[in-house]
Amino acid sequence: MEKNAAEVAGRQAKVVGARSLVEAAYETIRQDILTGALSPGLKLRFEMLRERYGVGASTLREALTRLVGEALVTSEEQRGFRVAEISLDDFADLTAARKLVEVEALRQSIIFGDDAWEGALVGAYHRLSKVEEKLAEEKTESSELRDEFEARNRDFHFTLIAACPSRWVKHMHGILFQQSERYRRISLAARFEPRNVHAEHKAILDAALARDVDLACRLEAEHIDKTLTLLSRNLPALT
């Protein structure tokens, strides 16, 4: 009995270890795609990936399959995997879908949000503001600072719509928001034109706290559109 229990425990430990390897590979590859370390369209050859990430083919295949589900990697029959391409058409489609979902989520969140939601929103905005101050002060941002901005920006936008009662609307918002990350990072890194993102966020915050649904939704839509406008003028030069 004890031997059987030990064998079961051993098998479970191997399963947990395998899952941990897959999770680590998935997170690292995903981050490299989002930051551009793995460029759009790059052929993801297993030899290169094994050398880069130090894990086996089965682990890589499972991690890449997860990334296919997130549309960050494409799978070509008999041809393996490739980093998903980026394009203005793709981002325009993504932006339109995100506006549809996020503006509605914000509308509901403002209507149903309570005092606790307001407090969480103010806190998320404060943390985001600290990173935006650093960005304004530095001429060239480090990858760490971009990562920090993305995390705080995500927290602020997710808190904005946190009081929306529809879990499906929030789920779709999360998918679309994350899909936009590569494009946001391009915009942030390149600094194509002067943009006061801090002021945009502050205006949205003030309108949300004032429970001005129409104004908040209009400002949010304009905020989402702004990145597309900037990229549409400059993305061809970067791809």
Domains and CATH numbers, the chain: 2-83 (1.10.10.10), 88-238 (1.20.120.530)
pLDDT above 70: percentage of residues in the chain = 85
In sequence order, the β-bridge partners of residue 190 are none
Q: What is the mean pLDDT of residues 78-82?
A: 84
Round to whole Å and give the CA distance between 59 and 27: 12
Q: What is the pLDDT of residues 94-151, one digit of tens each?
A: 999 999 999 999 999 999 999 999 999 999 999 999 999 887 777 656 778 888 988 9
Which one, of 237, 235, 189, lies nearest residue 89 by Cα?
235
Look at residue 5 in the predicted model and tell me its pLDDT: 37
Q: What is the mean pLDDT of residues 185-195?
A: 66
For strands 43-44 and 73-76, give the pairing.
Answer: unpaired
33-42, 46-55, 84-93, 226-235: least confidently modelled range: 226-235
- Round the average pLDDT of the chain to a whole number and report it: 85
Half-sphere exposure at residue 228, Cβ-oriented, CA atoms within 13 angstroms: 18
**DSSP H or E stretch at residue 76:** strand 73-76
- Please say whether the beta carbons of 176 and 131 come within 8 A: no
Q: What is the pLDDT of residues 2-20, one digit of tens each?
A: 444 334 233 333 434 556 8
- Predicted confidence band at 31 (pLDDT cuts at 50, 70, 90)? confident
Name the burial class of residue 214, with classes exposed (0-12), middle (13-18) and buried (19+) by CB atoms within 10 angstroms of its CB: exposed
Which one, of 221, 194, 227, lies nearest residue 207 by Cα?
221
Round to whole Å and give the CA distance between 99 and 234: 22
